[in-house]
Amino acid sequence: MRLLLVEDDPALGEGIRAALKPEGYTVDWLLDGLSAVHAIEQESFDLVILDLGLPRLDGLQVLKRVRSGKHQLPVLVLTARDATGDRIAGLDAGADDYLVKPFDVAELKARLRALLRRSFNRSEPLLEYRGIVLDPSSQLVTWQGQSLSLPRKEFLLLHELLVQPGRVLTRDRLQQVLYGWDEEVESNALEVHVHHLRKKFFPELIRTVRGVGYMAEKA
């Protein structure tokens, strides 16, 4: 589960991040609104935690930009206690939930779970590719009449590849999907996952683009 945290207070940001990592979230953290917009447009997140008071581009503007896109990306907004107007404005701009600072970490976690659950129940479409059907909400795959559950990373990887067949995904891109930005893996873990997927399904499922990355052939 990959989250984008947009928060300019270093202490708070670090705190949130530290709290969420053990829960199994991959947390990417940006400190200003402009970078956030770019990241959201180019990467793929499951949820955004957005502070409203941000340098370079205000949180509300970020929210509006996100909503103008097609993504139904859930956004949890953090507001200062006394910023009454923010709340209203945020509602209008389409935030999915709020938290007023200072807040309890347990509360944050609970709201995240609720939001993610909602967004996944929101019938995320099944993904089909050559007889393989992915169900993002349950992390389950149907293949040759059997339903099997893939390990989390394998599912993430496969999902990323099949979202848009024919597109070549660089090694870096894939590693970001699996690990986020910082925690780099300096081994061939990615290749091992690919190997497992090829074995579970069929070898031609994932084509190697030597020196670049991997792709699923356009059907």
Residues that bind DNA (CB under 7 A): 24, 149-154, 171, 178-179, 185-189, 191-195, 198, 203, 208, 210-212
What would the two tokens of residue 148 be?
A: 């099997």
Binding residues for a copy of itself, how many (CB under 8 A)? 41
Residue 132: its H or E element: strand 132-135
Q: Tell which positions 53-82 bind a copy of itself, by CB under 8 A.
A: 81-82
- Which residues does residue 48 pair with via DSSP β-bridges, in sequence order? 4, 75
CB of 134 to a copy of itself, least distance (A): 13
Binding mask 107-146 for a copy of itself (x = CB under 8 A): x--xx-xx--xx--xx------------x-xxxx------
**Residue 217 interacts with, from a copy of itself, DNA, none (CB under 5-8 Å by kind):** a copy of itself
**Residue 68 interacts with, from DNA, a copy of itself, none (CB under 5-8 Å by kind):** none
CB of 70 to a copy of itself, least distance (A): 20
Query: What are the strands of the beta sheet with 207-209, ordered from one edge?
Result: 168-170, 213-215, 207-209
Alpha-carbon separation of residue 15 from 3, 27, 182 (angstroms): 15, 12, 16
* Residue 116 CB contacts under 8 Å (≥ 6 apart), including other chains: 1, 46, 47, 74
Among 213, 214, 203, smallest CA distance to 130 is for 203
* Residue 165 CB contacts under 8 Å (≥ 6 apart), including other chains: 129, 215, 216, 217, 218, 219
CB of 147 to DNA, least distance (A): 13
3 state SS of 35: helix
**Residue 153 interacts with, from a copy of itself, DNA, none (CB under 5-8 Å by kind):** DNA
3 state SS of 125: coil
3 state SS of 9: coil
CB of 45 to a copy of itself, least distance (A): 19
**Residue 168 interacts with, from DNA, a copy of itself, none (CB under 5-8 Å by kind):** a copy of itself
Q: Quick one: 45 or 155, whose CB is closer to DNA?
A: 155
**Residue 64 interacts with, from DNA, a copy of itself, none (CB under 5-8 Å by kind):** none
Q: DSSP of 151-195, one letter per residue?
A: PHHHHHHHHHHHHSTT-EEEHHHHHHHHH-SS----SSHHHHHHH
Q: Which residues would be at the binding site for a copy of itself (CB under 8 A)? A: 11, 81-82, 91, 96-97, 102, 104, 106-107, 110-111, 113-114, 117-118, 121-122, 135, 137-140, 147, 149, 151-152, 167-168, 170, 172-173, 181, 184, 209-212, 215, 217-218
